[in-house]
Chain A
Amino acid sequence: MDQSATTVRLELELEGTDAHLLFADGDTWLGSGPYAGVTVRLLEREEGHGFGLSIVVTVLVSIGVNVASNVVADAVRSAAGRLVIRARGRHGASDGSAEGLEGLVEDERDAAEADRTAVPEDLSAGPGPRSR
């Protein structure tokens, strides 16, 4: 993975219940064309089932330095290949609209970049979600 890339972790609620059809070509989606520089890796499918006929997956999005957040949001929607109902990051949540996802990606990128440049004492908090 590109060392200069930023990675953000997103939980996506997607329409449909047929989780096995997702990312049918393997667990990694490599962006090309307008989405070059974006990689979406499927980390896990949540156990369980929602009555609203949806599935929840966690993805790791790797974003090249100069890729705009609205492009990243489109790439995520494209990688999922189905309706994104809601999304959640480590620091916030959004609806599945282009603008909502873009804002969430932007916030998560800012947070990830802040984490990378954080002073070492930040690590003493140990594993688990870090509070900002």
Chain B
Amino acid sequence: MSPMADPDASPDPPPSAGVLIDGDSHLELLGPWASPDVPPYAATAFTAAERRRIHLLHYLLRGNFVLTVAADDEDVAAFMDGSRRCLDLAAHYVRDDGALPVPDWLEATDAGIKDILRPDHPAVDDVRITVTWDQRIYARSRPRSREILVSAVTRAHLRSLNVWFWTSWNHAMRAADPKDTGKLATIRAMLRNSEGFTLPLLAFLVSVYRDIDLSRLPCPRAWDAESFRLASLWTAMQTTFVLAHEYAHVLLHGDHPLGSPRLEAEADAFAYRVLLAFDRTGFTPDGVRPALRWYFRLLAIERSVGQVINSHPVDWIQEDIQCRPLAFLHPTVGDPNAAYFDAAVGNAAMVAKHFLREAGPERIREYSKDICAEFGTLARPTHDRRAE
């Protein structure tokens, strides 16, 4: 277990179930859970490429279960047993045909978006979704072939990052000095532990740029069931937004060369409208704003981290990304409390960025190496044509 999942670090954890089920994850793949036809996983029976897929699928299947900070030893043992069975199942699927099924969450999101768009865009039913094994938070549209590619790990990564935000947020609220009554007391408490907040995020961000074994990535614990519900809601908002954004390119921008800020803004505004029309409780402007703010901020930090660890000139501002949500996130109306929380989420992301900037490139590269060492990369053999 990673230190981020240390229940002792949480003062006075709330009473809660120790293991939660993620209903938006991949429950559809747990069918053969008890089947004797699924033998224990034997790594030697697979090629390196197959093992890589098995580990990725294991990461997704394991994500059906989430420990809370209140989990006791028995819960952790049950979680580990379940994780082992998920590995058997992952091997079973990869051995079977190696294809990645379109997960339920993606099918449901896609169907919901199509329902909203159909009246104005009958061609929406021609758009096909393909799931990829790419180890990235990633969606890609190919307007000419009316295809949208989505990496299977997109949702799992976002969920982990969202769970970590909410657990850290709750933790900081508890840890805030009772005499510190200002609106930003929670953020001040997060700042006091900015390393503890940032390093777990970094593991996920580094995994985008390094062939880390996803199977061994840390499992952030949820604070409690309600906090997990909010993290899941954010995840649904983010994945719906990303998919709807790609729909905009396919339906509106088929003949344009993509990449211009104007088309991106158009696709973002389109996605935002789809999100607010989406049939799910909580998809309101006040609810959506912090979820997307957190997502875009993470995207910007992810890009900066990638530049640092690949020894590329680093842009800590990432204006292209940071400015994107302003067009639709700018609060025009509102509940002051919602606006305050939205600003606080932005500040929480700044805590992580500030920590990394202060640490500097050398230290970040060391962190990245530590992460690769701790979670394991998919090693390659050494080569003989290397020049020193």
- Complex interface: chain B residues within 8 A of A107 (CB): 380
- Interface positions, chain A 96-116, Cβ under 8 Å from B, are 96-100, 102-103, 106-107, 109
Min Cβ gap B311→A in Å is 8
**Which of B117-125, B140-148, B171-179 forms part of the interface with chain A?**
B140-148
Bound CA–CA A47/B149 (angstroms): 13
Contact across chains for B387 and A15 when beta carbons are under 8 A apart = no
User: Restricting to A36-56, which residues have a CB under 8 Å from any CB of B?
Assistant: 46-53, 55-56
Contact of B306 among A77, A85, A103 (CB under 8 A): A85
> In the complex, A102 Cα to B381 Cα: how many Å?
11
Cβ of B330 within 8 Å of any chain A Cβ, yes or no, is no
With A47-B143, A48-B140, A69-B385 already in contact, the answer to whether A82 and B211 are too (CB < 8 A) is no
Interface assignment of B156: CB less than 8 Å from any CB of chain A: no
Whether, in the assembled complex, B259 has its beta carbon less than 8 Å from a beta carbon of chain A, the answer is: yes
* Closest residue on chain B to residue A49 by CB atoms: B258
Instruction: Choose one: B208, B259, B387; the contact of A70 (CB below 8 Å).
Output: B387
Distance in angstroms from A96 CB to nearest chain B CB is 6
Q: How far is the CB of B100 from chain A (nearest CB, A)?
A: 15
List, in ascending order, chain B residues with CB within 8 A of A61's CB: none
Report how far A19 CA is from B257 CA in the complex, Å.
9
Could you tell me the distance in whole angstroms from the C-beta of A10 to the nearest C-beta in chain B?
16
B299 lies within 8 A of chain A by Cβ:
yes
Q: A52's contact among B143, B299, B320, B380, by CB below 8 Å, is which?
A: B299
Residues B329-365 near A (CB distance < 8 A) = none
Q: Does A30 contact B (CB under 8 A)?
A: no
Q: Quick one: given A52-B299, A70-B386, are A97 and B249 in contact (CB under 8 Å)?
A: no
A-B contact pairs, 10 of them (CB 8 A): A48-B142, A49-B140, A50-B139, A52-B139, A68-B385, A83-B303, A83-B312, A95-B209, A95-B210, A107-B380
The chain B residues found within 8 Å of chain A, CB to CB, are: 49, 134-145, 208-211, 242, 245-246, 249, 257-259, 264, 299, 303, 306-307, 309-312, 320-321, 380-381, 383, 385-387
* Residue positions of A touching B, CB distance < 8 A: 15, 17-20, 46-53, 55-56, 68-71, 77, 82-86, 92, 94-100, 102-103, 106-107, 109
Q: Which 3 A-B pairs have the closest CB atoms?
A: A17-B259, A68-B387, A49-B258
